[in-house]
Chain A
Amino acid sequence: MHVDPRRWRIGTRIAVILVLVAVGPVLLLTRLGITRIEDQAARDGQRELIGLAAAIASGLDAELEANLNLVTGISRDRDVVVYTEAADRAGAAADPAAEPINADLDILQEAHVTAGIFFILDDTGTAIASSDRKIIGGNYAYRPYWQRAMRGETNVSDVYLPIGTTSSTPGTAFAAPIRRGGRADGAVIGVAVIKSDALTVSGVITEAPDREDRRAYIVERNGIVSASSDPDDPNRFDSLRPLTDAEQRATAEAKRFDGPVPTASASRGVRSLVGTRRSGFTTGTLADEPVAVAWQPLAAAPWTAVVVEPLAAYKASAEDARSAALRIAGAVALVAVLIALLAARRMSRPLQALTEASARLEAGTPVDEEALAVVARRRDDLGLLATRLADAARETRAREARLEAQVASLRVEIDESRRAADVKEIVDSDFFTDLQARATEMRRRVRGDEPEGERQ
């Protein structure tokens, strides 16, 4: 259908203009508002995920610190230092399992049920005392935690998988150097170790996610996902980035895995969290799933607490905010349109009354003078126009009444005797008599139907 606004009635024009004026700003503000709301929702979503990662990191740090403090205390214990010094001087006792130090370790284990096994390694990596007698005599020099402790570092190991015979569960070791004489500058003569059940670590993770669609990970310094809140997580024990040959060799030497560590497919953004010392957020893919990822590095260990959420779930809150904003904007626009239409109606009603009145004046049909009187009460130019139209309507009415009266009195104005006299005067004139006598001939001559010979 062809729309020509030039042909619109003034009421329609006013309505269209008012609606545009009313709705335009609403739409503009909605557009700006939605952008802000989406940005805000995105920032809120990031902040929430990073906050969750930070909470997990802080919970883990507290647990790790507690175990590190405990193992540091053991390494400085006078009995432990003396026992280790003796072993260093004279070699291991004939029957280390019979040494009273083991009973001390048993007491510690009973006091810290969740901490796991307490044991002491000498400067060759051999277990010389343990709350678990089975491991006494075993050599753990290949474990990086012993190597680091022998260099004087109190440290937390990475997570070990149960591939050896030492224990049947994944575990983490907390190791502290035992120094000669218990002095801070004494040579390292052995290592105190708490072998913790890895489950105690992942317990913090397991309980961390507040929603089912969120997962929490611990990612080690080389990108290996050593724990997940989801026990069936296919990414668990995979690496977020391919391990270097050296790293693959190190994990093999540390007997951490039964073979090379596989790589989980992760987008560049997700891989960027590996080894970073700052908290962060990104969106990307993990095992081909679009995800939002937030992370927070731990203080007590070279690990990173990570929270993973499906991207669709992450965006849902922004979508919710957006649709809420749209609903509000729609309601506001509707109200604006209604007000505009009411205002347009109010503004155009007098114009319609004037148009109607002028159309009726033109057509000669009766004008609604009451409607005009209502408009005429206005003090603006419309009121003036209405007054003039009302005057015109009154004039028309008066003239018609006059004409009708004249038609009715037509008869009265003819003086019959004078008429007869006037007619007689003309009819009796020579001119008329002559004309009448020649009338027939004249009519014939005009039409040229006289005989041929008379024709000029």
Chain B
Amino acid sequence: MTRFVTVHSFRRGAGKTTISVNLAGVLARAGVSVLLVETAHRAEDAGSVLGGTRPDGFAELVAGTADAEAVGYDATETVGSSAGGRLVVVNGGRAVAPDPDAIGDATTTAFHALLDAFAPDFVVLDTAAGLTEETLTLLTVTDDLLLLVRPDRRDHQGSAVTADVAVRIGVPRPALVLTQLPGTVLDPADRARIEEAFSIPVAAVLPFSREIAEHQGDHPFAISHRGDPWSTALTELASALVAADPATRRLPPARTSGD
């Protein structure tokens, strides 16, 4: 059973692409077959981070002008998987999304084609910011929502609304990922307050790291800087995701901190 993990934030600049790429990389390296899909066109998308370029992407696939095989490319080499894992990346593409009334059908058809073509264990969706109709469509097929929240940004109102809508549309496991915090350990009282405020649990706390912003390697940061606190927190998040659903449990149980 394929799992859909959607990485989303209400505002831009929360680190969606960085977290998507690293999450997909860590999962693939650990032996999981992963499909990383950019669902929006960006200048700095997962494809450019992982060094892959294709003329067409997810937008072309949804519009019906490109095949799944043509838009997906294998980036397993960049994560150095040794346990049989696989990483396939689909860039955002350029084409304008189809008529909003048909978006649901077109998107589901596109995903079906991708699953048919690559048969992944996990699909990691790197979304556009905001709460658009496209976001709602993606949430419909999402198993795990990772809603990124920066404590130093005043985007909490929108994030709270997004969390509520995700619950209402039936996302099985919506969760918060707190980014750019001073450390990886959250005071239990703070955690309780935050979970109560957003009405969904905190899945991970990612520390502020200047190095990630400056990182320009051939491999995702969490793989090239494995001892870094940020990498450790992200790897624990990946383990927790795998452990959350027995059907896809392949990694050892996660050792989460602060629980």
Chain A residues near B (Cβ < 8 Å): 362, 364, 399-400, 402-404, 406-408, 410-411, 413-415, 418-419, 422-423, 426-427, 431-432, 434-436, 438-439, 442-443, 445-448, 456
Using known A-B contacts A432-B136, A435-B137, determine if residue A410 contacts B156 with beta carbons closer than 8 Å. Answer: yes
Residue of A nearest to B158 (CB): A422
Contact of B2 among A407, A423, A436, A447 (CB under 8 A): A447
Q: What 7 additional pairs, Cβ within 8 angstroms, besides A402-B152, A432-B169, A447-B2?
A: A407-B151, A414-B157, A427-B165, A431-B136, A435-B137, A435-B169, A439-B169
7 residue pairs, one from A and one from B, having the closest CB atoms: A400-B182, A406-B151, A446-B111, A423-B164, A422-B161, A413-B156, A439-B140
Q: In the complex, how many residues of chain B place their beta carbon closer than 8 angstroms to a beta carbon of chain A?
A: 43
Residues of B close to A432: CB separation below 8 A: 136, 165, 169
Residue of A nearest to B193 (CB): A411
Chain B residues near A (Cβ < 8 Å): 1-2, 4, 100, 104, 108-109, 111-112, 115-116, 131, 133, 136-137, 140-141, 151-152, 154, 156-157, 160-161, 164-165, 168-170, 180-183, 186, 190, 193-194, 196-197, 207-208, 211, 229
The distance in angstroms between the C-alpha atoms of A456 and B64, with both chains bound, is 13
Residue of B nearest to A420 (CB): B164
Using known A-B contacts A404-B182, A406-B151, A448-B115, determine if residue A442 contacts B104 with beta carbons closer than 8 Å. Answer: yes
The answer to whether A406 touches B152, judged by C-beta atoms less than 8 angstroms apart, is: yes
The answer to whether A442 touches B141, judged by C-beta atoms less than 8 angstroms apart, is: yes
Using known A-B contacts A411-B193, A432-B136, A448-B116, determine if residue A418 contacts B2 with beta carbons closer than 8 Å. Answer: no
Residues of B close to A399: CB separation below 8 A: 182, 208
Residue of B nearest to A409 (CB): B151
Residues of A close to B156: CB separation below 8 A: 410, 413-414
Residues of A close to B165: CB separation below 8 A: 423, 426-427, 432
Majority-rule SS of B interface residues:
helix
The answer to whether A410 touches B194, judged by C-beta atoms less than 8 angstroms apart, is: yes
Residues of B close to A406: CB separation below 8 A: 151-152
Expressed in whole angstroms, the minimum distance between the Cβ of B48 and any Cβ of chain A is 27
Residues of B close to A400: CB separation below 8 A: 182
Residues of A close to B193: CB separation below 8 A: 410-411
Residues of B close to A426: CB separation below 8 A: 131, 136, 161, 165
The answer to whether B115 touches A447, judged by C-beta atoms less than 8 angstroms apart, is: yes
The answer to whether B169 touches A410, judged by C-beta atoms less than 8 angstroms apart, is: no
The distance in angstroms between the C-alpha atoms of A419 and B165, with both chains bound, is 10
The distance in angstroms between the C-alpha atoms of A415 and B159, with both chains bound, is 12
Contact of B140 among A419, A423, A435 (CB under 8 A): A435
Contact of B151 among A410, A427, A448 (CB under 8 A): A410
The answer to whether A445 touches B112, judged by C-beta atoms less than 8 angstroms apart, is: yes
Residues of A close to B131: CB separation below 8 A: 426
Name, among A418, A432, A435, A446, the residue most crowded by chain B CB atoms within 10 Å (CB to CB). Answer: A446
Residues of B close to A447: CB separation below 8 A: 1-2, 112, 115
The answer to whether A364 touches B140, judged by C-beta atoms less than 8 angstroms apart, is: no
Expressed in whole angstroms, the minimum distance between the Cβ of B248 and any Cβ of chain A is 13
Residues of A close to B141: CB separation below 8 A: 442-443, 446
Expressed in whole angstroms, the minimum distance between the Cβ of B221 and any Cβ of chain A is 14
Name, among B116, B186, B190, the residue most crowded by chain A CB atoms within 10 Å (CB to CB). Answer: B190
25 contacts between A and B (CB under 8 A): A364-B182, A364-B207, A364-B229, A399-B182, A399-B208, A403-B208, A407-B186, A407-B194, A410-B193, A410-B197, A411-B193, A411-B197, A413-B156, A413-B157, A414-B197, A415-B157, A426-B131, A426-B165, A431-B136, A434-B104, A438-B140, A446-B4, A446-B108, A447-B1, A456-B109
Name, among B154, B197, B207, the residue most crowded by chain A CB atoms within 10 Å (CB to CB). Answer: B197
Residue of A nearest to B113 (CB): A456
The distance in angstroms between the C-alpha atoms of A260 and B110, with both chains bound, is 130
